[in-house]
Amino acid sequence: MPRFSANLSMLFGEHELLDRFDAAARAGFRGVEYLGPYDHPAEEVSARLKKNGLTQVLFNVPSGDWAAGERGIAILPDRIEEFRAGVDKAITYARALDCGQVNCLAGIVPAGAPREELEEVFVGNLKFAADRLGEAGIRLLIEPINTRDIPGFFLTGTQQALNLMEKVGSQNLWLQYDIYHMQIMEGDLARSIEANLPRIAHIQLADNPGRHEPGTGEINYPFIYDFIDGLGYSGWIGAEYKPKAGTEAGLGWFGKFAGKADAAA
């Protein structure tokens, strides 16, 4: 049976972030993820996890100034020192929250920047991060994202991600496969997941169009759940969508899974 984690950056937004842990547990989720825990002391976040019996499934390496529109800094030549300091910060939080994996957002291509130079920086940063995180027993993930939601994003497809992973050459670099993003950019979801399952460490979902909850759009999620389950995927699936009419009102898709998944990571 699939194990679903609640992405608290999108779900239960009517609550303050720390209170979203309580709301997710009440709804039946056993795992949580979000962009990052860095606005709160690690001990406060850890206390909410323990209080609710939740697994910290995933968060991102610090990704720059999100409010200003930044979506990662790992490709930027003038931010290498900041990126690498962020890796150390992510390790500190991951250890405190008993989190076994973190995601690295590549970033948006600056106007006029040569992609070859950006890729070289990205590969170097990923080598550094994969090694550093590996020493701490933490997986590093990279995520292709669609260019409709984030115009100019550097990493946009599964094969591009796999090619980068080969250039990095680390056994501690994994693919985060977001069904919503890849439906927009590629389609052929089942075949792609099956072909790349050995390198996929985390899956996320939302329906298309609208990035709302499963069942509101074109993706056949009942088929996808059964297909992924049949492949033997043992990781988590992150519910990373924008609720169409409130989180609780839109959790009908989750009802048969709530509280039934093994919380072991």
Which residues form the catalytic set?
A: 143, 240
Which residues are CB-neighbours of 63 under 8 A, at least 6 positions away? Answer: 35, 36, 70, 71, 72, 73, 105, 107
Our CA dihedral for 164, 166, 171, 176, rounded to 10 degrees, sits at: 40
| Chain centre distance of CA 230 | 22
- Rounded to whole angstroms, the Cα distance separating 261 from 4 reads 8
On whether the CB atoms of residues 103 and 58 are closer than 8 A, the answer is yes
Helices (H), 53-198: 80-97, 115-135, 158-168, 179-185, 189-196
Question: In terms of Cα–Cα distance, which of 165, 150, 217, 151 is closest to 189?
Answer: 217
43 φ/ψ angles, rounded to the nearest 5 degrees? -70, -30
3-state SS, residue 59: strand
